[in-house]
């Protein structure tokens, strides 16, 4: 994410900047809003914002924290933090937009069943790398047999390292 100064700015200026952002994003066609918003944000910020909105949508729809974290590739604790903010009412202002009939999040993800998970697991198992042919294994074994082993120096009881703290 982009680094910004952590220095606090004047509260009046902060409010004015928030209002400018709101004006930039409100009452405009969707493509203009998207262009304005995404030109302000870096790639990581867009991803973070998108995932945060996705978490809120999935929470509103009743998904479990595990399902949300798995689908959006975020930690379970991140989902729980957003869930606690949701329960505090921090997102109440835009929940009506999520719940309106024209908003259809099912196109973004579908509910997975245990059968779907088993199919995906079976597919992953079926795509294992091929087993080497016997001829290749024989060549490898012959190559290993030809390697010359270096003689190990003899160690007497006097030359052996002393055990320290029971580590070896």
Q: Can you give the residue ranges of every domain in the chain?
A: 8-40, 42-106
Do 65 and 76 meet the contact criterion of CB atoms below 8 Å apart?
Answer: yes
- Name the band, by pLDDT with cuts 50, 70 and 90, for residue 106: low
**How would you label 58-89 residue by residue, b for 16+ Cβ within 10 Å and e otherwise?**
bbeeebebeebbebbebeeebbeebbeebeee
Do 66 and 57 meet the contact criterion of CB atoms below 8 Å apart?
Answer: no
Tens of pLDDT, residue by residue over 49-87, are 889 989 998 898 889 999 999 999 999 999 999 999 999
Mean per-residue pLDDT of the chain: 75
Tens of pLDDT, residue by residue over 15-56, are 888 888 888 778 888 888 888 888 888 888 889 988 998 999
User: In this structure, what DSSP letter does residue 126 have?
Assistant: H
Least confident of 83-97, 102-116, 151-165: 151-165
């Amino acid at each position: 994410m982009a680094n910004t100064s952590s220095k606090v700015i004047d509260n009046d200026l902060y409010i004015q900047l928030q209002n400018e952002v709101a004006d930039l994003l409100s009452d405009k066609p969707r493509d203009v809003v998207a262009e304005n918003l995404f030109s302000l944000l870096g790639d990581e910020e867009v991803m973070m914002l998108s995932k945060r909105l996705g978490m809120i949508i999935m929470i509103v729809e009743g998904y479990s924290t595990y399902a949300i974290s798995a689908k959006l590739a975020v930690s379970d604790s991140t989902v729980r933090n957003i869930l606690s903010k949701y329960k505090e009412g921090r997102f109440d202002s835009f929940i009506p937009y999520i719940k309106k009939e024209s908003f259809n999040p099912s196109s973004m993800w579908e509910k997975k069943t245990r059968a779907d998970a088993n199919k995906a697991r079976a597919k992953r198992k079926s795509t294992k790398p091929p087993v080497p042919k016997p001829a290749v294994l024989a060549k490898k074994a012959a190559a290993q047999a030809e390697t010359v082993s270096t003689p190990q120096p003899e160690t007497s009881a006097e030359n052996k390292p002393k055990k320290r703290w029971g580590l070896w």
